[in-house]
A and B are shown apart, each in its own frame.
Chain A
Amino acid sequence: MDIFTLRMLAANLAKSYDIEEYVTNLSSFNTELVVEATVRCLEAIRPGLGLSTVLPVNMAARFRLGATLAQTCMELGYRGDIGYQTFLYNSEADLRRVFMFLIEKLPKESEKTVNESISKVALLEKSVASAIFQGLSIPWLPHYCHKQGFRNRGRANVPYVSVNIEVPIANMEDDYKDYCMRYLQPVPEQMQDIACFLPSMISYNAKALNTSPTDIMERINWLNSQQSEKPAYSNAYNIVKEFSKFSSENKTQTSTESQVKPESVMHPVLPDQETLRNQAKQEVETEKMKTECESLRINIEELQNEIKKLTTRLAQATITGQNEEKELKVNEEQKKIKAKAYELLQDGPENVKKLESAVEASTSKLINLANQWEKHRVPLIMKYRQEREKHSTKANASQKKLDEIKLLKEKEKELQEECRNKDQQYSQLVAEVQKLPKEVNRSAYTQRILEIINNVRKQRDEISKVLADTREIQKEINTLTGRLERSFTVVDELIFRDARTNEASRKAYKLLATLHSDCNELVSLVEETGATIREIRDLEEQIDSESAKNVGANLERITADLKQMKQETAALTAQLQKYKRIRSNTLKTKHFLATQPAEYNAILPVSLHESTKLAAKKNVPWPGVVRH
């Protein structure tokens, strides 16, 4: 059982942990194996201990490793007797107890699965595993049966071909609506092959989601650029263009005419005089017209220039006019004030008095008004403050309530999430339970347990039977000894009475006495043999238990280890002595150097000097010396 669990453990930890085949129970574990198994168990229970699985060669290090192992076991809560000797000089019973404790303490598989189910990668792996498992559990079918279902997964036979579909949009103009109602084909009919339906729908959604916004931005940008260019064109550039067009057309016309003319002159057919005259007239007229046109054009340009100049002048004139109007207004006001002042100047003091009285009246009125205003204002301000306080308290309360609502909403969300997680876990666990092998021979185990219980009961019955027997026997013995005692006293009295008179009876009495004493001796001897037999049995048991602890082998090993330890200590003391001698030598040399002159000091090799200094200063133990 232990071996089995340890093998399982080794497999779980996926480490190179080979148990040789001859190891069949715990008693055949050697020390290395014990230590390694313990360290691995402890690593599994409490990762990050950093103990080495290999037993060190050095005795002291061995003891230390054993002691730390015992210490960690104690920290984990082991109650029994434990020390370095448990691991180094193993006895089967102790080891069994320790390993049972450790294996109970091992992290459970279920905890692991719970931990795993949280991480996304593990979930993904699980789903992959379940999908593969599903695939593996389906029986083989010939390919022409793969119409649908799991077998057909990943065997696409319809290419992804999508069609641009047109879908009626709500809230459009009447014409469009009418078109949609009467003429627009329903979406499935917009495609030639019905196989395009699903891809088209997917594309439609994706297009509506992704491409359109960028498109609109591009369009807006384009439109903006167009608009910014347009006004620049239309104002100045267009007019110039028009003019230039006009003139250039004229030019081309004239040039073509001039080209045409020589040809017509060169024509062999003789033209009439009139026609010639007409032609000449026409030519003159055209010339005139051209000059007129030219002059008109120049006139127009001049006029336009003038118009421009005039418009600018007009603008200037309007601005100046406005300014002057403003000035005029200001002057008029000043004039009014001055006129009044002149009027009042005629009888000055009276007017001054009047003015003063008017000023006073107005000030008193003002003060009155201010008082009244104060009267009205104070209660209003109070009211305003109260209202504001009320409002603020209300706002506070509402804010608190809002916060509470927010908190509640968050809580609700969390709870929903938790609920979903729990559901997921539940379904996972249900799936696992279904996955687990159903025919675990539980019945066999229970049967065996029942058998064992029956056996125990039988044994107990037998034991009680034996106990009853012994009690009966004890009783019988007691009654028999009582009867013996009584009959002996009766016989003793009878024979003793006759013994005075009869010689034979005296002899008989003597014999009886010897017989009685002999019998007593015999009984006591029998009892003694029984006791010794019991003792022997106890001792045998003790011997068995002691031999189970294989004290002999352990003792041998302990003595061997002790020898090794002694050797090591001897080596260490030798080293120590060596070191001491060297130190004393260095001290001597130092003393010697201190007494010598400085020149001598300089001659000495530097390295030696340095080393002696260092050794003297630091008082470092030599490397390799381990203190216990």
Chain B
Amino acid sequence: MELAKEIVDGLASIQNSNILPEEAFLQLLDIIMLYISKNNGKSKLIISFISGIATIHPSKSDLIKAAVSNVSCLFIEAARHDYDEESLKHFLHNEHINGHRIETLCSTYINNKQNIQTQLELIGNSLPHVVDIDWRLHHCVKISTRFTNIPIYNIRISTKECDQMRHVIFTCTIQQLQELVYKLKDAIRHIEKMSNI
């Protein structure tokens, strides 16, 4: 991974406990994790914390403001590249960031890595997912012009895209349905084969 020079400098500047007291540092990490792992349902809680950033260390609020973005950048990039604790430490060491706070940073990161990655997974555009399927079997005995006497399958596939449910509805004969089922089974077999390398 790669971080911009300003971010690296910012990270190096908060390593000194004379500039930023330990207590404020820990508080800062808590708040950053709250922001990153924000949940839409808990936004009110976050709003109550927003005033917190300015009050952590009022005499150096510009440092705090910069640190919020720098540390969260570090965490997000590390989670994007799937770093573990060891490799993150290695990375910071290579960027010439030294200090006892590296341990705290890394442990905070590794405790919240899953969470960050979950949040990152939620971002972006994706194709609609098939999540469910309903079916209904109609037997049409007769229509006005002739006898038909064939079963008709009504299939409704539920898809989900960006928390929005959509439905794909179609009807088919039994042969078409069988073909569909065989195709699906083929796909399942293929995936099972892939998983058994």
Mark A residues whose CB is within 8 Å of B. Answer: 125-126, 128-130, 132-133, 136, 142-143, 146, 148-149, 152-160, 165, 167-170, 177, 180-181, 184, 186-189, 194-195, 197-199, 201-202, 204-205, 208-209
Contacts of B191 on A, CB cut-off 8 Å? 132, 136
Contacts of A198 on B, CB cut-off 8 Å? 36, 76, 119-120, 123
Q: A136-B192, A181-B61, A201-B72 are in contact. Are A156 and B121 (CB under 8 A)?
A: yes
Question: Are the CB atoms of B132 and A142 closer together than 8 Å?
Answer: yes
Contacts of A159 on B, CB cut-off 8 Å? 123-125, 162
Q: A132-B191, A205-B4 are in contact. Are A152 and B69 (CB under 8 A)?
A: no
Please measure, in the bound complex, the distance between the C-alpha atom of A168 and the C-alpha atom of B121, giving whole angstroms. Answer: 29
Sample of 13 more A-B contacts, CB < 8 Å, known A155-B129, A194-B38: A128-B197, A136-B191, A143-B131, A152-B118, A155-B160, A156-B124, A156-B125, A160-B124, A167-B10, A180-B61, A186-B53, A187-B68, A188-B35
Contacts of B120 on A, CB cut-off 8 Å? 198
Contacts of A129 on B, CB cut-off 8 Å? 194-197
Please measure, in the bound complex, the distance between the C-alpha atom of A356 and the C-alpha atom of B70, giving whole angstroms. Answer: 88
Contacts of A204 on B, CB cut-off 8 Å? 69, 73
Please measure, in the bound complex, the distance between the C-alpha atom of A128 and the C-alpha atom of B196, giving whole angstroms. Answer: 10
Contacts of A152 on B, CB cut-off 8 Å? 118, 121-122
Q: Taking the complex as formed, is B149 at the interface, i.e. its CB lies under 8 A from any CB of chain A?
A: no
Question: Are the CB atoms of B77 and A205 closer together than 8 Å?
Answer: yes
Name the interface residues of B129-147: CB closer than 8 Å to any CB of A. 129, 131-132
Please measure, in the bound complex, the distance between the C-alpha atom of A180 and the C-alpha atom of B122, giving whole angstroms. Answer: 32
Q: How far is the CB of A603 from chain B (nearest CB, A)?
A: 77
Contacts of A202 on B, CB cut-off 8 Å? 76-77, 80
Please measure, in the bound complex, the distance between the C-alpha atom of A107 and the C-alpha atom of B162, giving whole angstroms. Answer: 51
Contacts of A148 on B, CB cut-off 8 Å? 118
Q: List 19 A-B contacts (CB under 8 A).
A: A129-B194, A142-B131, A143-B132, A149-B118, A156-B125, A156-B126, A157-B122, A157-B163, A167-B65, A170-B13, A186-B50, A194-B43, A195-B38, A197-B36, A198-B36, A201-B72, A201-B73, A205-B3, A208-B4
Question: Are the CB atoms of A189 and B121 closer together than 8 Å?
Answer: no
Contacts of A125 on B, CB cut-off 8 Å? 197
Q: Which of A160, A165, A181, A188 contacts B62 (CB 8 A)?
A: A181
4 shortest A-B CB distances, which residue pairs? A208-B4, A143-B131, A180-B62, A132-B195
Please measure, in the bound complex, the distance between the C-alpha atom of A155 and the C-alpha atom of B163, giving whole angstroms. Answer: 9
Q: Hey, what's the 0/1 contact readout for B44-82 against A, CB within 8 Å counting as 1? A: 001000100110000001111110111011001100100
Q: A180-B62, A186-B54 are in contact. Are A154 and B121 (CB under 8 A)?
A: yes
Question: Are the CB atoms of B65 and A180 closer together than 8 Å?
Answer: yes
Question: Are the CB atoms of A170 and B9 closer together than 8 Å?
Answer: yes
Q: How far is the CB of B80 from chain A (nearest CB, A)?
A: 7
Contacts of A186 on B, CB cut-off 8 Å? 50, 53-54, 64-65, 68
Q: Taking the complex as formed, is B175 at the interface, i.e. its CB lies under 8 A from any CB of chain A?
A: no
Please measure, in the bound complex, the distance between the C-alpha atom of A546 and the C-alpha atom of B52, giving whole angstroms. Answer: 97
Contacts of B26 on A, CB cut-off 8 Å? none
Please measure, in the bound complex, the distance between the C-alpha atom of A180 and the C-alpha atom of B64, giving whole angstroms. Answer: 10
Question: Are the CB atoms of B69 and A158 closer together than 8 Å?
Answer: no
Q: Taking the complex as formed, is B40 at the interface, i.e. its CB lies under 8 A from any CB of chain A?
A: yes
Q: Taking the complex as formed, is B6 at the interface, i.e. its CB lies under 8 A from any CB of chain A?
A: yes
For B50, give the chain A residue with the smallest CB separation.
A189
Q: How far is the CB of A351 from chain B (nearest CB, A)?
A: 80
Q: Taking the complex as formed, is B158 at the interface, i.e. its CB lies under 8 A from any CB of chain A?
A: yes
Question: Are the CB atoms of B195 and A136 closer together than 8 Å?
Answer: yes
Q: Which of A142, A155, A205 contacts B73 (CB 8 A)?
A: A205
Please measure, in the bound complex, the distance between the C-alpha atom of A549 and the C-alpha atom of B126, giving whole angstroms. Answer: 70
Q: Which of A160, A170, A187 contacts B123 (CB 8 A)?
A: A160
Question: Are the CB atoms of A155 and B197 closer together than 8 Å?
Answer: no
Q: How far is the CB of B186 from chain A (nearest CB, A)?
A: 16
Q: A143-B132, A158-B123, A194-B43 are in contact. Are A168 and B197 (CB under 8 A)?
A: no
For B47, give the chain A residue with the smallest CB separation.
A194
Q: Taking the complex as formed, is B179 at the interface, i.e. its CB lies under 8 A from any CB of chain A?
A: no
Question: Are the CB atoms of A208 and B7 closer together than 8 Å?
Answer: yes
Contacts of B196 on A, CB cut-off 8 Å? 129, 133
Question: Are the CB atoms of B40 and A195 closer together than 8 Å?
Answer: yes
Question: Are the CB atoms of B123 and A155 closer together than 8 Å?
Answer: no
For B79, give the chain A residue with the smallest CB separation.
A198
Question: Are the CB atoms of A156 and B123 closer together than 8 Å?
Answer: yes
Q: Taking the complex as formed, is B23 at the interface, i.e. its CB lies under 8 A from any CB of chain A?
A: no
Q: Which of A132, A168, A197 contacts B194 (CB 8 A)?
A: A132
Question: Are the CB atoms of B195 and A133 closer together than 8 Å?
Answer: yes
Q: How far is the CB of A176 from chain B (nearest CB, A)?
A: 9
Q: Which of A158, A181, A189 contacts B122 (CB 8 A)?
A: A158
For B86, give the chain A residue with the smallest CB separation.
A420
Q: How far is the CB of B132 from chain A (nearest CB, A)?
A: 6
For B196, give the chain A residue with the smallest CB separation.
A129
For A131, give the chain B residue with the smallest CB separation.
B195
Q: How far is the CB of A131 from chain B (nearest CB, A)?
A: 8
Q: How far is the CB of A162 from chain B (nearest CB, A)?
A: 10
Question: Are the CB atoms of B125 and A170 closer together than 8 Å?
Answer: no
Contacts of B118 on A, CB cut-off 8 Å? 148-149, 152
Contacts of B5 on A, CB cut-off 8 Å? 208
Q: How far is the CB of B154 from chain A (nearest CB, A)?
A: 20
Question: Are the CB atoms of A187 and B121 closer together than 8 Å?
Answer: no
Contacts of A199 on B, CB cut-off 8 Å? 123
For A143, give the chain B residue with the smallest CB separation.
B131
Please measure, in the bound complex, the distance between the C-alpha atom of A201 and the C-alpha atom of B69, giving whole angstroms. Answer: 7
